Amino acid sequence: MKWMLGAALSVLVGFGAMAQAPLGGASKDGAPAAGKPAETVAPAAPVATQQCPDNAAAYANSNESFACLCPPEAMAAGSVWGSDIYTADSGLCRAAQHAGVISRRGGPVTVQMLPGQPRYLGLTRNGVQSQNYGAYDSSFRFDGGRPAAEATAGPQDLGNCPDNLSAFAGETGKLTCSCEPAAIGQGSVWGSDIYTADSGTCRAAVHAGAIRRGGGQVMIQMLPGQPRYIGMTRNGVQSQNYGAYDSSFRFDSAAGQATAPAAPAPAPAAAAPTAQAGPTRMAQCPDNMSAFENSDETVVCGCSALAVAQSSAIWGSDTYTSDSAPCRAALHAGAVGRQGGEVTITMLPGEARYMGVTRNGVQSQPFGPYRWSFRFAGVQRAAGPDLCPDNMTSLDGSDEGLTCLCPGDATARGSVWGSDVYTSDSGTCRAAVHAGVIGQGGGTVTLRMLPGQPRYLGITRNGVPSQNYGAYRSSFRFEGGQRAQGNVPMQAPVAASLQRSGQVQLYVTFRTGLADLDITAAPILMQVRDAMAADPSLRLRLIGHTDSQGSAQTNIPLSIRRAEAVRMWLAQAGIAPDRLLAEGRGQTEPIADNGSEAGRALNRRVQAVRLQ
Q: What is the pTM of this model?
A: 0.54
Which of 8-22, 46-60, 131-145, 151-165 is predicted with the least confidence, judged by mean pLDDT?
8-22
Q: Mean per-residue pLDDT for 320-345?
A: 91
Whether 73 shows a pLDDT value over 60: the answer reads yes
Give whole-number Cα distances, 405 to 65, 367, 415, 437, 573, in Å: 86, 21, 18, 12, 29
- In the prediction, which pLDDT does 277 show? 59
Whether 31 shows a pLDDT value over 50: the answer reads no
- In the prediction, which pLDDT does 147 show? 61
Q: Could you tell me the sign of the dihedral formed by the alpha carbons of 224, 168, 173, 266, in that order? A: negative
Q: What percent of the chain has pLDDT over 90?
A: 47
| Residue among 521, 513, 486 nearest 598 (CA) | 486
| Beta carbons within 10 angstroms of residue 599's beta carbon | 20
d(CA 129, CA 224): 27
Q: Mean per-residue pLDDT for 495-499?
A: 80
- Based on the number of CB atoms within 10 Å of its own CB, is 277 exposed (0-12), middle (13-18) or buried (19 or more)? exposed
**If pLDDT is split at 50, 70 and 90, which confidence band does 7 have?**
very low
| Residue among 443, 398, 388, 454 nearest 421 (CA) | 454
Whether 18 shows a pLDDT value over 60: the answer reads no
Output 48 or 390, whichever has higher pLDDT: 390
Output 380 or 235, whichever has higher pLDDT: 235
DSSP of 458-473? --EETTEE-B-B---S
Express each pLDDT in 371-400 by its tens digit: 999 999 987 655 556 778 889 988 888 888
**If pLDDT is split at 50, 70 and 90, which confidence band does 32 have?**
very low
Beta strands in 438-579 (DSSP E): 443-451, 460-461, 464-465, 474-479, 503-506, 539-545
Which of 179-188, 205-214, 302-311, 356-365 is predicted with the least confidence, judged by mean pLDDT?
356-365
Whether 2 shows a pLDDT value over 80: the answer reads no
- In the prediction, which pLDDT does 309 show? 85
Q: Mean per-residue pLDDT for 288-303?
A: 92
Residue 402 CA, chain-centre distance (Å), reads 36
- In the prediction, which pLDDT does 409 show? 77
Residue 583 CA, chain-centre distance (Å), reads 37
- In the prediction, which pLDDT does 568 show? 92
- In the prediction, which pLDDT does 502 show? 82
Output 487 or 452, whichever has higher pLDDT: 452
**If pLDDT is split at 50, 70 and 90, which confidence band does 469 have?**
very high
On whether the CB atoms of residues 588 and 543 are closer than 8 A, the answer is no
**If pLDDT is split at 50, 70 and 90, which confidence band does 57 have?**
very high
- Give 276-285's long-range contacts (Cβ < 8 A, gap of 24+): 279/344, 282/230, 284/192, 284/232, 284/234, 285/232, 285/326, 285/327, 285/330, 285/343, 285/345
Q: What percent of the chain has pLDDT over 70?
A: 84
- In the prediction, which pLDDT does 201 show? 95
DSSP of 75-116? TT-S--BEESEEETTS-HHHHHHHHTSSBTTBEEEEEEEEEE
- In the prediction, which pLDDT does 148 show? 53
- In the prediction, which pLDDT does 190 show? 95
Which of 103-112, 230-239, 386-395 is predicted with the least confidence, judged by mean pLDDT?
386-395
d(CA 477, CA 432): 9
| Residue among 451, 448, 478, 453 nearest 468 (CA) | 453
HSE-CB at 193 with a 13 A cutoff on CA atoms is 16
Q: Which helix (H) or strand (E) holds 11?
A: helix 2-20
Whether 29 shows a pLDDT value over 50: the answer reads no
Whether 249 shows a pLDDT value over 80: the answer reads yes
| Beta carbons within 10 angstroms of residue 100's beta carbon | 15
Cβ contacts of residue 307 below 8 Å, gap of 6+? 233, 284, 285, 325, 327, 328, 340
- In the prediction, which pLDDT does 596 show? 85
- 3-state SS record for 122-164: CCEECCEECECECCEEEEEEECCCCCCCCCCCCCEEEEECCCC
Express each pLDDT in 175-216 by its tens digit: 999 998 888 888 999 999 999 999 999 999 999 999 988 899
Output 110 or 47, whichever has higher pLDDT: 110
d(CA 272, CA 132): 27
Angular region, 378: left φ>0, alpha ψ -120 to 50, beta rest:
left
- Based on the number of CB atoms within 10 Å of its own CB, is 31 exposed (0-12), middle (13-18) or buried (19 or more)? exposed
Q: Mean per-residue pLDDT for 59-85?
A: 91
Question: What residues does 238 pair with on adjacent strands?
Answer: 233
What mean pLDDT value characterizes the chain? 83
Express each pLDDT in 421-431 by its tens digit: 999 999 999 99
- In the prediction, which pLDDT does 485 show? 47
Residue type, 271: A
| Residue among 501, 168, 441, 151 nearest 318 (CA) | 501
- In the prediction, which pLDDT does 413 show? 84
Length of the chain (residues): 612
Express each pLDDT in 539-583 by its tens digit: 999 999 999 999 999 999 999 999 999 999 999 889 999 999 999
Whether 355 shows a pLDDT value over 90: the answer reads no
